[in-house]
Chains A and B, each alone.
Chain A
Amino acid sequence: MKPAEHNVERCGGASATPPSPRERPRVARRPGGRWLGAAMFLPAILYVVAIIGVPFLMAFLYAVGDVRVGSVGYHFVGLENFRSVLHSPAFRRSLFNSVIFTVGSQVLVIVGAFTLALALRDKFRGRGVVRFLVMLPWVAPVSLGAIGWKWILDSLYSVINWLLVAMHLFRQFDAPQWLGEPKLAMMSVILVHTWHVLPFSTVILLAGLTAIPRDIPEAAAVDGAGFWRTLVHITIPMMRPILNVALLFGIIFTFTDMTVVYILTRGGPYDSTQVVPSLAFFTGILGGDLAEGAAISLFLVPILVIVAYLMLRVAHRAEVT
């Protein structure tokens, strides 16, 4: 195979006679070229545009209008919905919660996933089983995993509380209300979400770790570097692009998700765990205020744009190198 053959002859050697094609050279097509290509990918593009692009535009239209479930007609109200959303304490609270939720869980995910990936890098007996076990939170449906946690964190029958009581750290009647107290509830949803996303980040980082050529850490070891020095000066710098990928996916999966919050707390108690997506759901779907709900979910767009841009940079750099 010599794919280079097609475009090697760029420089005319001194001995080459100048090209004298009978027609002006045009860039030629491969047989069965462009039209077939377009016909083959257009259906997919059209489908995705219809289901993603159209509702996306509708979301903007709703957000600048006054649509409610069952209402007829549409009145343009400009930025009114955005203004009222920005002034509503519930929204401010949820935006703040979303940031805490995302930052908190992503810090835990990256640290935890990196540690776990390092531990799983080298082959050992039973690695397949361990991998299956640690992957469970990601591969099982998240709503079902979360309901499992709801049982574990139950106000009365929590197994964690039973342990704490058994260890005499708490007494039965003042055991922590994991989902009932604002601060604890936030901590709980963060931890449960971390539990859900961590395996995904782990396998991504694992793919990055195994891609580091074996001889580089070995050379570092020969040069006298210990575990920590190799980690800080070799492994982490080489993992930068893949760490970025894991982090970007993690941010998307966290900032835009409402499943864990919805199942565990429904945003409560007192909106203390309400995040932007769940607020949009309660406002737009359950509350029927489509306009305000759409305006709330559009606050996810800036985050998406930034992440998409960064993702493109990663992909572009991967293409160049």
Chain B
Amino acid sequence: MAVVETRGLTKVFKEGQLGAVNNVDLVTREGEFLVFLGPSGSGKTTLLRMIAGLEQPTAGEILIGGNVVNHLSPRERRIAMVFQSYALYPHLSVYNNIAFPLKAQKIKKELHREKVEWASSLLGIGGLLDRKPRELSGGERQRVALARAIVREPTVFLLDEPLSNLDAKLRASAREDLEQFHKRIGTTTIYVTHDQVEAMAMGDRIVVLHQGFVRQIGTPKEVYDDPADTFVATFLGSPPMNLLESDDVVVGFRPEHFLPADRLREGSRIPLRFRVTYLEFLGAERILYGSLAGSRFEEKEVLSRLPAAVSEAFQVASVYDFGVASESLRFFDRQSEKRTQPKAIAWQ
């Protein structure tokens, strides 16, 4: 088992242009499940492919288990990777797909069957060994891809959006499978996704990437509750954090903290008038769209997310007394967009 480390890792595809990955420093922890999260084009896949050795970095170093591996080819890095499409070899049976890394690494033939059986039983696909990839369901394909990855007992697992080809229903159970799988084998895993729900649910820590830069590294709770900048604040959370600009700061609060005034403790409550313009009923919760009224933030658009427990009726075009607890406020520098200390601001 080993940790992966990058130092100043940079990838520029076309000279003179901004890099796809810029100066990334990060260190995984032993056995952790680390998620690279970012919108498409954020450089997360490129970062992963550099760690795998499928892209050459323009600058910087990659270390696996303490050794610099920049000059090593993918096959020499003792990593395993599961691709977005699973990249199962279409002409080979499941058995031969799983045995492929063993053959490629010239592992003794006698050991193949034993290892393939071990990997396939770990993933519960022992009965599928004679099938061809095209005869498998999406979930089964994922399991075969995982079995192929684990069979050579890699030091690091790299997963590139493995759930994005599955339909919504299958995705939840496949996610569950992946988590169980990781718990059982305990190998350091790096997981790339653009889906924040996956990231929050599975990640021990999340690396938020945007335009090739690391914006924040932290546990799901840290990146959600204490976003490092306005990008993280608005990228995570659905609907995103409300942001209000005031002089040189930006103040933000989550929609679920923007509640009817009587739901908040009196002492720390900041009262705001809320004109509702649109309502969405989503079953377990309601989303209210509207704007602030009668303060210096008049007309600023904000959202409120109400749990089912809040049962009051709201009318479109009416104005209500809402508020937010002062400890739920997050402050960002307006220039750098980075997190700053709480400040007293004039609300009225």
Contact = CB atoms under 8 A, between A and B. Distances in A.
A7 B22 contact: no
A141 interface: no
B52 to A, nearest CB: 10
Residue of A2, A5, A30 with most partner-chain B CB within 10 A:
A5
A6 B337 CA distance: 26
B14 A19 contact: no
A13 interface: yes
Interface stretch (B53-61, B107-115, B142-150, B322-330): B53-61
B20 A6 contact: yes
Contact of A21 (B19, B40, B210): B19
A260 B66 CA distance: 73
A9 interface: yes
A16 B211 contact: yes
Interface residues of A, number: 28
A12 interface: yes
A30 B42 CA distance: 20
Q: What DSSP secondary structure best describes chain A's contact surface?
A: loop
Contact of B59 (A5, A16, A17, A25): A25
Contact of A17 (B10, B40, B213): B213
B56 A9 contact: no
B22 A19 contact: yes
B10 A31 contact: no
A123 interface: no
A167 interface: no
Given A17-B213, A19-B22, A25 B56 contact: no
B56 A28 contact: yes
Interface in B1-47: 8, 10-15, 17-20, 22-23, 40-43, 45-46
Contacts of B43: 5, 9
Contact of A7 (B20, B55, B229): B20
Contact of A10 (B17, B40, B84, B337): B17
Given A8-B40, A8-B41, A28 B15 contact: no
Nearest to B19: A19
Interface of A: 1-2, 4-13, 15-17, 19-23, 25-32
Interface of B: 8, 10-15, 17-20, 22-23, 40-43, 45-46, 53-60, 73-74, 84-85, 210-213, 229-231, 337
